[in-house]
Amino acid sequence: MTYDLLIGDRSYSSWSLRGWLLFAAFDIPVRVHLNPMRDPAFARTLRDWAPARTVPTARAADGAQWHDSLAIAEGLAERHPEAGHWPAPPRARALARSMACEMHSAFRDLRTDCPMNLRVKWEGFEPSEAVLADLARIDALWSAARDMATGGPWLFGPYGAVDAFFAPVAMRIAGYGLPVSDAGRAYVDAHLDHAPLRRWRAEGEATDRTLANYDRALPTSAFPMPAPDDH
């Protein structure tokens, strides 16, 4: 079955990245439709995907639709159990789902102070105490997951939906030079080296679209991700 997926700008839309990885990292065919953010046509395009009001939104050929990244994860896991979106062991699966839900609803200060921007690395960013607290909680969650891992660089060993949910966090850590543990840094590096994520960023760069409201008014350098042809 082929799906359709409506996304926002690849360089900035963290939720779109999550939704797309739930297909791309699991080899599930999908037709991608770009709805540029901060564009007058954004709301008009969404009307064709009602009742959705946000991106990402996914639609199956049989008419089923999911207008939330967590709903996309569960919908695809239900329809493609062989893909391995969630870990097989019950304890690991429970923690993975809990972590994805916490990522979905928490870490407000990290989201607000460090919006995802895959176009540049910000130099000299000083995280607030609230952001540092979010990072400490994230690092603790990652450590708890890695304690259950069965090989591989991802949270529970093989790549899973929970890794897609934390991919934008890894990009924030890389793009703002945020402090995490050595184990956390290794996990961030795994995302930076992940072929689907590198392809996503390259496609965003190809549009060469910069949104001024994401500017942090700091010096910049190149975003620290290998190009897709570096491997």
What is 3-83's CATH superfamily?
Glutaredoxin (3.40.30.10)
List the beta strands (DSSP E) in the chain. 3-7, 30-34, 57-60, 65-66, 120-122, 220-222
pLDDT of residue 132: 98
CATH topology for 90-196?
Answer: Glutathione S-transferase Yfyf (Class Pi); Chain A, domain 2 (1.20.1050)
Give the start-to-end residue ranges of the domains of the chain.
3-83, 90-196
Q: Of 224, 215, 218, which Cα lies nearest the Cα of 188?
A: 224
Q: Of 87, 116, 97, which Cα lies nearest the Cα of 16?
A: 116
- 10 Å CB burial of residue 206 (0-12, 13-18, 19+) is exposed
Q: Are 61 and 2 in contact (CB under 8 A)?
A: yes
Question: pLDDT by residue for the chain (231 residues), tens digit each?
Answer: 789 999 999 999 999 999 999 999 999 999 999 999 988 889 899 999 999 999 999 999 999 999 999 999 999 999 999 999 999 999 999 999 999 999 999 999 999 999 999 999 999 999 999 999 999 999 999 999 999 998 899 999 999 999 999 999 999 999 999 999 999 999 999 999 999 999 999 999 999 999 999 999 999 999 999 876 655
